[in-house]
């Protein structure tokens, strides 16, 4: 049975809990948006889902009822009894890890990797601001088993991921994720969809791994992009040297912020 806002409040109150700002806890309670997320995820019976930050399990229940297996990763240990009480009836299809999903900024927690058992998976998650970017990049670059992700993130982060060349939001995050995935925006969520209400709007993005990524060396691409965007308004010649012959179609007077993803990939191959 779908959890309402009243249900979520009662579950927390029954365990003497309240939302914790340090964990970025804003609980999604809008049933219509949960249905849209489920539709965007296009789950298959028996498929594996990685859910980060299940909270009280409102979305987790829908995933399990749809026939998916779920590896849920929850950093707040106080949520463990709520999740186990509500979801243990699903047996082996529900696995819970209490802790951080990332071991470090660039490495997924080995315990989470082990729980997924090498199976292909999709990620569906309501991601706090501080973890969204490093987690998405890590999964896109280092975990080819992730076929797609449907994520709720701050609209500011969504704007950066989907940004086009020349805009203020275009940067390293845009280039790396667009090189690895096709990205589209499923919708925008107002603060009223969450409890407590965040101060900013959120968006739902769908990232689908490209059959053939635009780069076969994302580490080299990431290194170059980081270097160039540190001086995004300078010309390439001033950053990389004017005495070099740049790849065809890329002039020494071009600024990094105006390069397309494909041109960044071309430059990374050339500089390597």
**Mean pLDDT for the chain overall:** 94
What integer pLDDT is reported at residue 244 of this predicted model? 80
Does 1 have pLDDT greater than 70?
no
Percent of the chain having pLDDT more than 90?
89
- Please report, for residues 84, 156, 173, the alpha-carbon distance to residue 170 in angstroms, rounded to integers and kept in the order given: 41, 11, 8
Tokens of 33: 């948006």
Q: How many residues does the chain have?
A: 272
**pLDDT tens digits for range 78-127:** 999 999 999 999 999 999 999 999 999 889 999 999 999 999 999 999 99
Is residue 242 scored above 70 in pLDDT?
Answer: yes
Is the per-residue pLDDT at 272 higher than 80?
A: no
For the purposes of burial, counting CB atoms within 10 Å of the CB of 88, is it exposed (0-12), middle (13-18) or buried (19 or more)?
exposed
Alpha-carbon distance 189 to 172, whole Å? 25
Specify the pLDDT at position 128.
85
The pLDDT, as a whole number, for residue 243 is: 79
Query: Please, are residues 251 and 239 in contact by the beta-carbon 8 Å criterion?
Result: no
- Over residues 230-242, the mean pLDDT reads 90
- Output 192 or 105, whichever has higher pLDDT: 192
What is the distance between the alpha carbons of residues 117 and 72, in angstroms, rounded to a whole number?
14
Average pLDDT over residues 184-213: 95
Average pLDDT over residues 50-62: 96
Tens digits of residue pLDDT in 124-169: 999 988 899 999 999 999 999 999 999 999 999 999 999 999 999 9
Domains and CATH numbers, the chain: 5-209 (3.40.50.150), 218-271 (1.10.8.100)
Provide the whole-model pTM: 0.94
Q: What is the average per-residue pLDDT within 18-47?
A: 93
């Amino acid at each position: 049975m779908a959890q309402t806002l009243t249900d979520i409040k009662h579950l927390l109150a029954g365990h003497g809990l309240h939302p914790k700002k340090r964990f970025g806890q804003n609980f999604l309670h809008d049933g219509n948006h949960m249905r849209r997320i489920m539709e965007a995820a296009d789950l298959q019976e028996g498929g594996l889902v990685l859910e980060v930050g299940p909270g009280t399990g409102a979305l987790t229940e829908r995933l399990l009822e749809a026939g998916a297996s779920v590896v849920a990763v929850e950093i707040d240990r106080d949520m463990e009894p709520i999740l186990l009480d509500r979801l243990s009836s699903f047996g082996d299809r529900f696995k819970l890890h209490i802790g951080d999903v990332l071991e470090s900024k660039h490495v997924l927690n080995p315990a989470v990797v082990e729980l997924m058992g090498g199976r292909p998976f999709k990620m569906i998650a309501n991601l706090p601001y501080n973890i969204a970017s490093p987690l998405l990049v890590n999964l896109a670059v280092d975990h080819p088993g992730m076929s797609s992700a449907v994520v709720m993130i701050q609209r500011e982060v969504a704007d950066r991921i989907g940004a086009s060349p020349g805009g203020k939001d275009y940067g390293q995050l845009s280039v790396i994720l667009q090189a690895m995935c096709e990205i589209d925006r499923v919708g925008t969520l107002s603060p009223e969809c969450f409890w407590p209400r965040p101060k900013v709007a959120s968006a739902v993005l769908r990232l689908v791994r490209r059959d053939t990524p635009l780069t076969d060396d994302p580490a080299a691409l990431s290194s170059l992009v980081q270097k160039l965007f540190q001086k995004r308004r300078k010309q390439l010649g001033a950053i990389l040297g004017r005495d070099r012959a740049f790849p065809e179609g890329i002039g020494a007077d071009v600024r990094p912020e105006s390069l397309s993803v494909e041109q960044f990939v071309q430059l990374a191959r050339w500089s390597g």
